Amino acid sequence: MSFADAFRLDHSTHTGCSRPKREGDLVQLGLNTGPTYEIAAVRGETAWIREPGTFRGEALVPLSRLRKVEDEPEKRLNEAA
């Protein structure tokens, strides 16, 4: 049994999330419930993601691999204030 089998990790390249993704949105990779990332920039079909707050763990990822966690970044900012 592999690590991926034991933890039911899905490394598929498409999440099925068709919601539009833009700068400031919170996303997760694939179908897993792993770390949450913030989209720093979008160009074409590629997003630059990084960990919110620390700005570590940066990566360039195809939008098709991202699953949107929250729809309204303005709501997130208002709750933090």
pLDDT given for residue 39 in this prediction: 94
How many Å apart are CA 59 and CA 42, to the nearest integer? 12
How many beta carbons lie within 10 A of that of residue 65, not counting itself? 19
pLDDT given for residue 24 in this prediction: 93
State pTM to two decimals: 0.67
pLDDT given for residue 42 in this prediction: 95
pLDDT given for residue 18 in this prediction: 81
For every one of its 81 residues, what pLDDT tens digit does the chain have, with 9 covering 90 and above? 555 556 555 555 666 778 889 999 999 887 767 788 999 999 999 999 999 888 788 889 888 888 888 655 555 555 555
